Amino acid sequence: DAGVTQSPTHLIKTRGQHVTLRCSPISGHKSVSWYQQVLGQGPQFIFQYYEKEERGRGNFPDRFSARQFPNYSSELNVNALLLGDSALYLCASSLTGGEGGQPQHFGDGTRLSIL
């Protein structure tokens, strides 16, 4: 069975541009979460979606948005890119998305570099 897949694997953008990152969860998983991992740090929570609804949001500006589609895949959008947005963006899926957590399975991430 396929794990969590993310695309693209690498991306280079310039300041002020917009980016869309994509994620397909494990088959049967209905919840998708997005994380930002800056070099040398642990992942920071951005969003969780379950059944196409936003269930949680981390401390990120409104330039970050996401959505989940009927097939449970998800997109993360970032507008007006800043140098500080350079990071590994990780997607994770779980069966459901209850508060208090569920074991999440991660993709290999999209490495975003801002010039």
Partner 1 sequence: GEDVEQSLFLSVREGDSSVINCTYTDSSSTYLYWYKQEPGAGLQLLTYIFSNMDMKQDQRLTVLLNKKDKHLSLRIADTQTGDSAIYFCAESPNTGGFKTIFGAGTRLFVKA
Cα of first residue to Cα of last residue in the chain, in angstroms, is 37
Binding site for partner 1 (CB under 8 A): 4, 6, 33, 35, 40-45, 48, 50, 55-58, 90, 92, 97-109
Q: Smallest distance, Å, CB 16 to partner 1?
A: 28
| Complex with partner 1: residue 8 or 101, whichever CB lies closer | 101
CB burial of residue 101 (10 Å; 0-12, 13-18, 19+): exposed
Is 50 or 72 the residue whose CB approaches partner 1 more closely?
Answer: 50
Residue carrying structure tokens 């642990």: 42
Least Å from the CB of residue 50 to partner 1? 8
Query: Is 85 or 109 the residue whose CB approaches partner 1 more closely?
Result: 109
DSSP states of 16-27: T--EEEEEEPPT
